[in-house]
Chains A and B, each alone.
Chain A
């Protein structure tokens, strides 16, 4: 059974810092891995989707990496801003088009 774990559960950093969010999964038989952002009271916004054959994806200040063999992914946020404050969710795609989510990391960026 696929399980996804995110560490840390919460993180508070001063504005301008670079930071890394971690995601691990137990079964390497995944199609893709996706990072989402969730603002309070809102739905999920897709940030980055990494195909299983890829090692990383970049979008602006965000960079996500994937190491299938070790069951790990990281989301790197450069030069953090208060507007980055949100919950970040990692999810893996498994057979049948299902997404299995981690519990999320709640990020707070202080001005």
Chain B
């Protein structure tokens, strides 16, 4: 079974530039998550999708971050414009159901973003 795929693996940009990350979840997984992991910290949930609807985006900085999940499969996370403090690893995860809290999340390798 293929795992969660993410691209690119690494990205370096200047502050105020835009960047987009892509995630392809495990086939058949209804729930998709984006996490931000700053160096030395645990991952923090940015947004959670159930199929193509948003379940939780309470910690997403909506003035600069946006995410979509078209057709309930792949997802993109965009930052526009980027700030220095956005430097982090962005992790995508998926689970079969997720809302009941009884489904394991599977994580992709992450995208390491450096903002100069």
Chain A interface residues (CB < 8 Å from chain B): 4, 31-32, 34, 36, 41-46, 49, 51, 89, 91, 93-104
Contact = CB atoms under 8 A, between A and B. Distances in A.
Nearest to B109: A43
- Most chain A CB neighbours (cut-off 10 Å) among B33, B43, B56: B43
B41 A96 contact: no
- Top 5 A-B pairs ranked by shortest CB distance? A101-B42, A31-B101, A97-B98, A44-B107, A43-B107
Nearest to A31: B101
Nearest to B112: A41
B97 interface: yes
A103 B41 contact: yes
Nearest to A46: B104
B99 to A, nearest CB: 5
B40 interface: yes
B106 A96 contact: no
Q: Which of A31, A94, A96, A103 lies at the interface centre, i.e. has the most chain B CB atoms within 10 A of its CB?
A: A96
B102 interface: yes
